[in-house]
């Protein structure tokens, strides 16, 4: 078919005109808006819509200023009619579909994170750019899920940091979190608790509630359950994360539970920001109680009007009434400006047709779309996730007025670095109208001892005094380590016992105040290893005494050296250390908060309760078995004579530790939340008592004996003169008429191996034929005393520091008998040496010989310094020689006639 040339020219002209028109007129980009225009959040939705409509003029004024090519006109922005979401998800998603069908290229909305997330997931199907000036959920920062979404308000990650830093800066030591179960609440709760943990700020309780529906009516049961749990957490600082509609209903229930008022602090997030303007609106159905419940409320909110000049210029040029400039409205103004700048820049890059058709090449993404600009809320800057970088404020509500009192600024490069500062001339007002900062944990509810409390300082002072006493005593013992008493008591084991007691005291100091993960580990290690040092050292000493007094072959006692016994002690300590290592590796101890309605306390517990129970039981059984063995050794050696009655005091110490363990052990397994302070005090004072008693029995008394022995006054003054009797009631040895084998006399006597014993006059009677020695106390009325078998008696003719005395030893008891004259003492030495074993602590050698099997036997010689005691054997038996040191320089002879194997009558010279 042939086309007329004239018609062809007409078509070309029309196409040319259309092309010219297309080049001369830039595109108009439609932006849809979806906000709640009805329902509980309608007032905010209406205010934002009003500001957005006024902002179009401001945005297009900017667009007109953008340079364009020759013969072209600037692009423009057209705002579509706001779709009503009623603060519900379904209407919000429908608004997205309607916007796409009506040619929109971008979308603004919604108010809440719970609605915005499903809206953006739908908008991705239509390649719609999406912005909100109010949602703050961290979930929307995931660009793999929300690639075209951005916001002009800082997200909850920054707000969580701001609130945690604010709580710390106020000096509050704990808080509780009440959050809505939607995306907004869970996201904010996560960031807040993470920052609180980083700051070592305990979050006593985190409770969720079901948020109110679109009609604003919430679930009262959900509110009550959450508040009840928080009330029992014993903290007075509550962070509320949710919308103001929920806060109003929560506050009513909290007020009925006495959780709003003096001593309580409520901190709301940005969702509560409009609560004051709403409850004080007389056209709305709020009560005086609702208005009172907002007094003292602290609100975290992004810094919205940072650039006062630009924001004021916009307000003046738009002619908006003050009632329309409410929370979030300015953020939505910058949201519209951010979309406009991105659309214009993208159209200039790839052409307006691609933008209008929403067909973007792979080179276009959120990073290329977003542009920084000076907004009415301050400089609008984004991070790599499309989140606004900005500051937060802490506002204080009182009597309907909201005053900005704190500012929390965030570092552009590192959001974990925050600076908290008070704005001048803006004092806080709490519920009672004063600026007195309430305590996060009232003093009456603290169930643990603090370092700064009177009780804590007193216990620290007592522990320090006990530790100082132990250290000074050991220094004194070391300085006198060459003394025979210290050598007999084994200084290495005394030091080992002292080190163990010091570790137990250090563990007690760690029981005070709020524990940390490190202090939890250290207190367990110190206590158990210290206990092991004490028990193993005492076991070594008790075992040595038992082997010496129970072993028939003394040649086997070479294994009783300090080095070998110390190695045995280290084996027990090593076993306990391995148990602790396994415990720490499998489930280390960490601080755990124990709370009731009225009390808050702490304990150290493993995350795995079964592991903790197992290792507690293993340690308890291990040390219990060691205590049982020690009790057996102490019982077997209770009557064995040892220096300073060591075996007796070991028995006392073990019994005391065993009884204290019975008191403390149940506290390892019972729940201490209801009575934390009594349980702590019982554990501390019983342990301190056990340490003091053990130190006194095992170490301290040795130093005290040594200190007293160094004094010049060692007893009553002795006389070398006198006859058979004296004016003080004493008398020399004499025979009872008709009983030549019985010797008697009156002498001062005192117990040798007990502290603070004094001299008392006793009658000393030797019943040679009967085989007994009597020691009776002389009183005004009757004589009372002890009767000893001669064959079980030992005596020392030269006790140290007592020159005119002899020391009698029977089982674990020792008695000093004081004489007035040396010849009287010699007479008793000769008499006792026939029947008793002679032993002296002042000699280092001892020898003995066996007599013949038939009559006559073999004689023995006793040398006491320069004095020699000659003994003729009688009957058949053993003879021996014992060398001893003495200051006496006289010689005595004693002979005894004997018959073949029988006992002869003793004759004394």
The full DSSP string for 547-578 is: HHHH-S-GGGGGGG-HHHHHHHHHHHHHHHHH
| pLDDT at residue 424 tops 80 | no
Name the most confidently modeled range: 128-142, 544-558, 697-711.
Answer: 128-142
| pLDDT at residue 420 tops 70 | no
Q: Which residue has the tokens 């007690």?
A: 508
For the stretch 307-344, pLDDT in tens is 568 888 888 887 777 666 888 899 999 999 999 999 99
Check residue 5 and give its pLDDT.
57
pTM for the predicted model, two decimal places: 0.56
In 826-873, where do the E strands start and end? 837-838, 847-849, 860-864, 867-871
Q: What φ, ψ does residue 450 adopt, rounded to 5°?
A: -95, 155
Residue 12 DSSP class: H
764, β-bridge pairs: 745, 775
Least confident of 595-599, 651-655, 888-892: 888-892
**Range 296-311 average pLDDT:** 81
Bridge-based pairing of strands 175-180 and 149-151 is: unpaired
The answer to whether 301 touches 136, Cβ cutoff 8 Å, is: no
The larger pLDDT score, comparing residue 572 to residue 319, is at 572
**Range 358-370 average pLDDT:** 93
The larger pLDDT score, comparing residue 313 to residue 128, is at 128
454-479 and 676-695 helices cross at what angle (nearest 10)?
20
Average per-residue pLDDT for the chain: 80
The answer to whether 377 touches 305, Cβ cutoff 8 Å, is: yes
**Range 565-577 average pLDDT:** 91
How long a stretch of residues is the chain?
A: 909
Check residue 388 and give its pLDDT.
87
The answer to whether 334 touches 376, Cβ cutoff 8 Å, is: yes
For the stretch 224-268, pLDDT in tens is 999 999 988 878 999 999 988 899 999 999 999 999 988 899 999
CA–CA gap between residue 74 and residue 61 (Å, rounded): 10
For the stretch 816-863, pLDDT in tens is 999 988 889 999 998 888 888 887 654 433 333 333 333 333 334 433
Q: Is 51 helix (H, G, I), strand (E, B) or coil?
A: helix
The answer to whether 796 touches 806, Cβ cutoff 8 Å, is: yes
176, β-bridge pairs: 205, 238
Q: Which residue has the tokens 């915005």?
A: 116
589, β-bridge pairs: 606
CA-to-CA dists, residue 614 to 151, 528, 582, 583, 643, angstroms: 53, 15, 11, 9, 42
517-550 and 562-586 helices cross at what angle (nearest 10)?
150
How is residue 895 written in tokens?
């002979």
- For residue 444, what pLDDT band results from cuts at 50, 70 and 90? low
- For residue 483, what pLDDT band results from cuts at 50, 70 and 90? confident
CA–CA gap between residue 450 and residue 326 (Å, rounded): 46
**Range 501-516 average pLDDT:** 92
Q: Please name the residue ranges forming H helices in 78-198.
A: 89-101, 113-123, 156-169, 183-198
């Amino acid at each position: 078919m042939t086309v007329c040339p004239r018609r062809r020219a007409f078509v070309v002209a029309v196409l040319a005109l259309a092309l010219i028109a297309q080049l001369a007129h830039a595109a108009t980009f439609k932006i849809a808006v979806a906000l709640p225009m009805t329902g509980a959040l309608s007032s905010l939705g209406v205010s934002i819509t009003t500001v957005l409509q006024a902002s179009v003029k401001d945005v297009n004024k900017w667009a007109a200023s953008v340079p364009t090519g020759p013969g072209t006109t600037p692009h423009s922005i057209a705002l579509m009619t706001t779709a009503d979401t009623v603060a519900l998800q379904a209407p919000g998603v429908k608004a997205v579909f309607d916007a796409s069908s009506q040619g929109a290229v971008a979308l603004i909305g919604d108010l809440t994170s719970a609605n915005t997330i499903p809206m953006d997931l739908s908008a991705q199907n239509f390649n719609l750019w999406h912005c909100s000036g109010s949602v703050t959920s961290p979930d929307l920062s995931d660009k793999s899920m929300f690639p075209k979404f951005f916001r002009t308000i800082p997200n909850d990650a920054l707000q969580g940091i701001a609130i945690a830093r604010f709580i710390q800066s106020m000096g509050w030591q704990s808080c509780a979190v009440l959050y809505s179960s939607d995306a907004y609440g869970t996201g904010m709760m996560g960031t807040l608790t993470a920052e609180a943990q980083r700051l070592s700020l305990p979050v006593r309780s985190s409770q969720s509630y079901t948020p109110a529906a679109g009609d604003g009516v919430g679930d009262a049961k959900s509110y009550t359950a959450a508040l009840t749990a928080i009330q029992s957490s014993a903290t007075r600082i509550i962070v509320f994360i949710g919308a103001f509609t929920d806060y109003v209903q929560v506050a009513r229930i909290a007020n009925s539970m006495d959780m709003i008022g003096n001593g309580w602090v409520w901190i709301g997030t940005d969702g509560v920001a409009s609560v004051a303007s709403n409850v004080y609106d007389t056209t709305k159905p709020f009560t005086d109680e609702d208005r009172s419940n907002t007094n003292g409320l602290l609100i975290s909110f992004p810094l919205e009007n940072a650039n006062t000049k630009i924001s004021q210029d916009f307000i003046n040029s738009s002619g908006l009434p003050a009632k329309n400039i409410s929370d979030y409205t300015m953020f939505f103004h910058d949201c519209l400006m951010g979309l406009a700048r991105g659309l214009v820049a993208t159209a200039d890059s790839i052409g307006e047709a691609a933008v209008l058709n929403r067909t973007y090449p792979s080179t276009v993404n959120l990073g290329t779309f977003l542009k920084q600009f000076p907004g009415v809320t301050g400089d609008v800057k984004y991070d790599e996730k499309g989140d606004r970088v900005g500051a937060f404020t802490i506002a204080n509500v009182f009597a309907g007025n909201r005053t900005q009192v704190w500012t929390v600024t965030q570092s552009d490069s590192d959001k974990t670095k925050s600076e908290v500062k008070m704005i001048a001339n803006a004092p806080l007002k709490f519920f009672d109208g004063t600026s007195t900062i309430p305590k996060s944990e009232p003093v009456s509810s603290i169930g643990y001892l603090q370092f700064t409390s009177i009780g804590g300082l007193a216990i620290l002072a007592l522990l320090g005094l006990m530790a100082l006493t132990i250290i000074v005593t050991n220094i004194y013992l070391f300085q006198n380590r060459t003394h025979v008493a210290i050598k007999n008591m084994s200084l290495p084991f005394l030091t080992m016992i002292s080190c163990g007691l010091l570790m137990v005291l250090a563990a007690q100091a760690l029981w005070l105040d709020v524990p940390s993960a490190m202090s939890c580990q250290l207190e367990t290690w110190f206590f158990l290893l210290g206990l092991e040092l004490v028990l193993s050292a005492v076991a070594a000493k008790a075992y040595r005494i038992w082997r010496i007094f129970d072993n028939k072959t003394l040649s086997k006692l070479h294994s009783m050296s300090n080095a070998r016994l110390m190695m045995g002690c280290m084996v027990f300590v090593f076993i306990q250390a391995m148990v602790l290592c396994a415990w720490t590796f499998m489930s280390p101890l960490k601080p755990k908060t124990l709370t009731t309605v009225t009390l808050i306390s702490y304990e150290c517990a493993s995350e795995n309760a079964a592991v903790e129970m197992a290792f507690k039981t293993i340690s308890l059984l291990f040390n219990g078995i060691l205590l049982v063995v020690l009790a057996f050794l102490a019982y077997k050696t209770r009557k064995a004579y040892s220096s300073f009655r060591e075996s007796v005091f070991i028995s006392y110490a073990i019994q005391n530790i065993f009884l204290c363990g019975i008191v403390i052990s149940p506290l390892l397994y019972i729940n201490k939340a209801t009575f934390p302070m009594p349980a702590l005090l019982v554990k501390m004072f019983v342990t301190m008592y056990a340490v003091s008693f053990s130190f006194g029995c095992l170490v301290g008394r040795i130093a005290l004996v040594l200190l007293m022995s160094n004094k010049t006054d060692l007893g009553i003054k002795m006389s070398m003169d006198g006859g058979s009797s004296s004016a003080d009631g004493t008398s020399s040895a004499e025979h009872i008429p008709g009983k030549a084998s019985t010797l008697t006399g009156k002498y001062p006597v005192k117990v040798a191996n007990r502290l603070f014993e004094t001299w008392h006059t006793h009658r000393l009677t030797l019943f040679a034929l009967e085989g007994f020695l009597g020691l009776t106390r002389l009183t005004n009325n009757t004589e009372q005393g002890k009767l000893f078998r001669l064959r079980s008696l030992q005596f020392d003719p030269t006790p140290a520091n007592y020159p005119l005395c002899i020391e009698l030893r029977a089982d674990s008891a020792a008695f000093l008998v004081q004489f007035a004259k040396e010849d009287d003492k010699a007479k008793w030495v000769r008499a006792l040496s026939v029947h008793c074993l002679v032993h002296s602590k002042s000699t280092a050698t001892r020898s003995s010989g066996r007599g013949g099997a038939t009559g006559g036997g073999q004689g023995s010689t006793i040398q006491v310094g320069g004095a020699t005691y000659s003994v003729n054997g009688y009957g058949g038996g053993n003879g021996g020689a014992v060398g001893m040191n003495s200051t006496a320089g006289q010689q005595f002879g004693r002979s005894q006639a004997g018959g073949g194997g029988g006992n002869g009558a003793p004759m004394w010279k």
